Amino acid sequence: MIDVHNLSMMFGQVKALDNASFQIQKGITGLLGPNGSGKTTTIRILSTILIPTQGSVTMDHIDVIKQPGEIRKRIGYLPEQIPLYSSMEVGDYLKTVGILKGLRSHLLNERLEYVGSKFELFSVWRKLCRELSKGFRQRVGLAQAFISDPPILILDEPTSGLDPTQILMIRNMIREFGKTKTVIISTHILSEAESMSDVLIVMNHGKVIGHGTADELKRQSGAESLETLFTTLTAKRDAVCTA
């Protein structure tokens, strides 16, 4: 379980997170919000990239702030900007990531074979990362997040740049992993969030303004669709902030 308590983050005079609190259980959680809502800041804190101004985060009772090394062993992270080394071949890049994640010998080879097959990368295995198309860059980014078979996956816009067939493949994979793992997906595609997520967390202006299943949130707000729900929740919060 991931437990986020009173999380705040200041960038100078800008408050990116404002006492945000929530819990995430095993399964797929969709993180939604307009630009500037605090989604990316939240993901970067969960991924140990940022240290919050205040608040606490634990994953399976391990403190994210005090024990970032232990957390990194347990997560796979896909940032919005794919962390590829342009001068490395795809296979060598994934092998390096696997070694950094602690994989060795036959287990490393098994996982390389797995992600190469699962993400259909063997056709570009010997290509330099800088030579990849947007779709292949995204698939390599996903492969590096999955390579150590982590119990927690944090995916920022996981289907960005993929064609419809690839999107369907990745969605099915994420659903499969969500049966046994904790998966957090940040996406701006509402239909994707609704179809894939067990639970939704809606953010705006650094605060959590909705948390529950899509059906629960729609019943609470009286909205007929997720699009209407999203517009209603964010509009209410915007009205409070500008009043």
What is the per-residue pLDDT across 218-230, written as a single tens digit (0 to 9) for each? Answer: 888 787 788 887 7
Which pLDDT value is given to residue 238?
58
Is the pLDDT reported for residue 239 higher than 80? Answer: no
Neighbours of 40 (CB within 10 A): 19
**Does pLDDT of 232 surpass 50?**
yes
Tell me the pLDDT tens digit for each residue of 87-102.
Answer: 999 999 999 999 999 9
pLDDT value at residue 243: 40
DSSP state of 148: T
For 31-89, how does the pLDDT look when each residue is reduced to its tens digit (9 = 90+)?
A: 998 888 899 999 999 999 999 999 999 999 999 999 999 999 999 999 988 889 999 99
- At residue 114, the pLDDT reads 96
For the record, the structure tokens of 92 come out as 């060598």
Q: Within 10 Å of residue 125's Cβ, how many Cβ atoms?
A: 13
CB 182 within 8 A of CB 151: yes
Count CA within 13 A, CB hemisphere, residue 228.
Answer: 9
The pLDDT of residue 157 is 87
pLDDT at residue 236 greater than cutoff 80? no
Taking the C-alpha atoms of residue 180 and residue 50, their distance in angstroms, rounded to an integer, is: 27
Average pLDDT of 131-155? 94
CA 227 to chain centre: 21
- Distance in Å from the first CA to the final CA of the chain: 37
Task: Return the pLDDT at 185.
Answer: 94
The mean pLDDT value of the chain amounts to 90
pLDDT in tens, 177-212: 999 999 999 987 888 888 889 999 999 999 999 999
